[in-house]
Structure 1
């Protein structure tokens, strides 16, 4: 299996916080040039700040701009199964390669409830569905035993693990070893190389918005068997992550760091991160240290 790096693409807005598809298309081209696949409307894509119709327009634009050059996944997950199904079907019509479904948020779910939620979505489309676990943000966690049962569904193709717990990632990958059609993608940027070494199908990275070439280098060096090169790229990626995320909420900081490099991406929709002069200065200093300014 050849591992793939997906970037959890930022969503661009104009000065009035309106969806800016022209700027978003430019970010698609930037990632395609680096060789990275795309994950749209995820945590780093401000999906909770987007309307239903905006998500569909966004996904359609990204699929169109990528033009089949790289795979495109899109996150359809919402608190209600009903709307999640609607979005999944719209994304399927748009031509995505995979539909990610983040665990419901705000609503406290049982494992049985999660299983029924994901099953209903997977039953409603033919495009492969990928579970998306990020308990720190949604307060709901897909237990490995639940993931194993869902992996038996003919249209549930894998999971994105953004929990950050190495043991859980190992448990998910054990499912993949027992059920080869079930792919595991690592979400935490500091665990990419480790996960690849354990047999992960790849990663879905938010930080790749800022460092697309370094992310691509981790994957390329690993594929080539260049362990020293892969370790060096991972070390750079991890060090940047540690410095940037020390400043606050990671998805908003990724967007703000990218804004400091290219203001055309726009700011995050409030209240995720208000521009603060001291914080912007700290971000710019980090960018300079990594030759990203």
Structure 2
């Protein structure tokens, strides 16, 4: 029997990048958020990442972000960890959001690389250190250069790992070589942020995943990790491969994951609501394809 790559990942292994439910009028739906959070935890999620990319953080207010953390904490109690997305392109604003999330009851902070301004690596490092110094919560660094325009280079990541409150990475860099270099030299917990890489990263020492597709298929993604941990590596590979058609439709079809996740949740009668502009909802043909892939993966008709 194999053992998990990390015996005690800081926020659990199976994390969902949860959508932020809205009402039909576009207001924050806290009741819906609580019901969705409760379902995700009951279906196998160890933790919930709020106000990330999938959670539409660019279009939610500071007050909405804090209210969402409070509501989800009330719903899940201590059954799951809560990681609050607080990253912005402004260091001062990010610190303010970090302190508000801590006060609201978050267990950790997801902090994305500052975007648009494209700071050099010394400035990226200083940004993360300032946030880690300001709050008492552990940080998950969010490395997603395809959206931010700036990578957290492996050498920078290795230096940041020396900070006692920088404990994890959500890895969307698509650089498995660079990731393994950091894994070999630090104790950072690496979470796959790209659903097609869940098993690959876990097998080389990752901590688990932060999944968008888990909004609709939490049990199926948890099963990949469980199979690997039990020593059934061929089964884990089969389960990962079986999920790929839905992963591709949700994450690589030209529509943002937020759009596809909310559209599919809506079809399933689960809390979601509309997306906020500039995002637009998926059309009916796309939703039909998503439902077909969902049914093939889950066996639910």
TM-score scaled by length of structure 2: 0.90
**253, 277, 290: which one aligns with 2:284:** 277
Aligned to 1:14: 23
**1:117-196 equivalences in 2 (<5 Å):** 117-174=127-184, 178-180=185-187, 182-196=188-202
Aligned to 1:250: 256
Instruction: Give yes or no for contact 1:172–1:184 (8 Å, CA) kept in 2.
Output: no
When structure 1 is superposed on structure 2, of 269-278 and 1-10 the one drifting more is: 269-278
Cα deviation for residue 141 of structure 1 reads 1.0
Cα offsets for 1:8-65 (capped at 9, x unmatched): 0110001011000111111111111122121111111111111111111111111221
**42, 47, 71: which one aligns with 2:52:** 42
TM-score scaled by length of structure 1: 0.93
The SS at the match of 1:14 is coil
Cα deviation for residue 165 of structure 1 reads 2.6
Aligned to 2:36: 27
Q: Write the distance in 1 (CA, Å) between the matches of 2:294 and 2:203.
A: 29
When structure 1 is superposed on structure 2, of 280-289 and 90-99 the one drifting more is: 280-289
More helix by percentage: 1
Aligned to 2:240: 234
Cα deviation for residue 275 of structure 1 reads 4.1
The SS at the match of 2:285 is helix
**268, 288, 301: which one aligns with 1:261:** 268
Instruction: Give yes or no for contact 1:247–1:253 (8 Å, CA) kept in 2.
Output: no
The SS at the match of 1:152 is coil
Instruction: Give yes or no for contact 2:263–2:281 (8 Å, CA) kept in 1.
Output: no
The SS at the match of 2:167 is strand
Q: Write the distance in 1 (CA, Å) between the matches of 2:31 and 2:54.
A: 18
Q: Write the distance in 1 (CA, Å) between the matches of 2:218 and 2:292.
A: 19
Cα deviation for residue 292 of structure 1 reads 4.8
Instruction: Give yes or no for contact 2:50–2:84 (8 Å, CA) kept in 1.
Output: yes
**197, 205, 210: which one aligns with 1:204:** 210
The alpha-carbon distance between structure 1 residues 119 and 64, as it changes in their structure 2 partners (threshold 3 A), is same
**56, 59, 65: which one aligns with 2:69:** 59
Residue correspondences, number: 289
Q: Write the distance in 2 (CA, Å) between the matches of 1:279 and 1:35.
A: 27
Cα offsets for 1:161-193 (capped at 9, x unmatched): 11223223223322xxx333x211111111111
Cα offsets for 1:228-286 (capped at 9, x unmatched): 33222211222321233343223222222222222531121122123423333333333
Task: Determine if the alignment matches structure 1 residue 5 to structure 2 residue 5.
Answer: no
Cα offsets for 1:122-173 (capped at 9, x unmatched): 0001111111111111112100111111111121112111122322322332
The alpha-carbon distance between structure 1 residues 29 and 263, as it changes in their structure 2 partners (threshold 3 A), is closer
Aligned to 2:3: none
Aligned to 2:100: 90
Q: Write the distance in 1 (CA, Å) between the matches of 2:219 and 2:186.
A: 32
Q: Write the distance in 1 (CA, Å) between the matches of 2:75 and 2:97.
A: 20
